[in-house]
Chains A and B, each alone.
Chain A
Amino acid sequence: MKFVPIFDDEDYLLSVKGDHEKYCEFDKILRNWTDIEYLDTFFTTHEVDLKRPFWEGISVEQAIIETRNEAIKFRQYLRRISKKNPSERLVLLLRLFQPLKKDQPTISFLEKKKAYGLRNKTWLRIYALKFGEDKYLITGGAIKLTDNMSEREHTREELRKLETCKRYIIEEGIVDEDGIIELLEL
């Protein structure tokens, strides 16, 4: 397992990359969310969830378009903030992530976090572990159409990834017991 910095000049935001993977998790989710074939397969597989009243009868085709547009906007937003200075960027990044669960303690060891997409009613989620004060490690992302992550296999898988990464970081001694790390300036 490797950690890839999302912005090239500092390490506030990292993404997990599997040993034999071509792309890191962050690259993978953005690729999937703009890949029409992937989205078509996903929304036809989960059409029953798409029919829930909350999504207001959106069709598979419209869902594909909305997801792609939102992912592109999100990617362009990050590209814009990648050109800002690191301290300004940090302020914007800190606003992105929220606790994974509403009832979880505000300060916890390797806290599990989520970021929403940019629409009001968004189904896009990015999942991350918080390191220390202001650093995040992206473990994956999902299109979440149900109320709870435990309801569908693809969101359960994201919960497993969060937990696996957390365990890996502890077992490898990458983070101390206070959850504080010092990242090297390379």
Chain B
Amino acid sequence: MKDTAKNKLNKYISRESLDWMAQADYYEINKDWLNKSALIAIKILSTLRSQSITQKALADSMGVTPQYINKVVKGYENLSLETICKIERSLGISLISVPSYESSQVILDSFSTVPFSIPKIESKPIGSKKTEYNSESKYQPQEIHIAA
């Protein structure tokens, strides 16, 4: 009886490559961008819903295929900055923000009026660099924020 059951069961066992293991290993290596891709997908889907836009309409406005947009909204796609900017423009939303640099200089209309001078470099004692450093550009550090 047992042998019969054994043989019968054997017919039903299928040893094949396991998707979940491959996915787990892939995630370990790529989790930084995969997590961001997932948050972007959530934002896109919630915007499509609130603006009553279909994935196809978004694809058309971006000049890509609906299949590509479908991959993006699953949260598995490694998006380029170009694609992110296209989505932002098409939906009128912001998906990521990056550190901004504000110039304190006034940009003049004509090169002919730009006063040109070579900065004077004075000799300083070693170790004075940190305290003397003064950039005219304001650095505003910001974490990349993806609105969910």
Contact = CB atoms under 8 A, between A and B. Distances in A.
A48 interface: no
B75 interface: yes
Interface string A50-65: 0000000000111011
A36 B42 contact: yes
Interface residues of B, number: 35
Interface residues of A, number: 45
**Most chain B CB neighbours (cut-off 10 Å) among A6, A27, A30, A82:** A27
Given A75-B20, A184-B9, A184-B13, A61 B25 contact: no
Contacts of B132: none
B13 A11 contact: yes
Interface stretch (A89-97, A100-108, A172-180): A172-180
Contacts of A4: 13-16, 18
Contacts of B21: 8, 79, 82
Interface of A: 1-6, 8, 11, 14, 17, 23, 26-27, 30-31, 34-38, 40, 44, 60-62, 64-65, 68, 72, 75-76, 78-79, 82, 172-176, 180-184, 186
Task: Sort A-B residue pairs by CB-CB distance and give the 9 closest, nearest first.
Answer: A36-B75, A36-B41, A2-B14, A79-B24, A27-B19, A40-B45, A37-B73, A182-B6, A184-B10
Interface of B: 1-2, 4-6, 8-10, 12-16, 18-21, 23-25, 27-28, 38-39, 41-42, 45-46, 49, 70, 73-76, 148
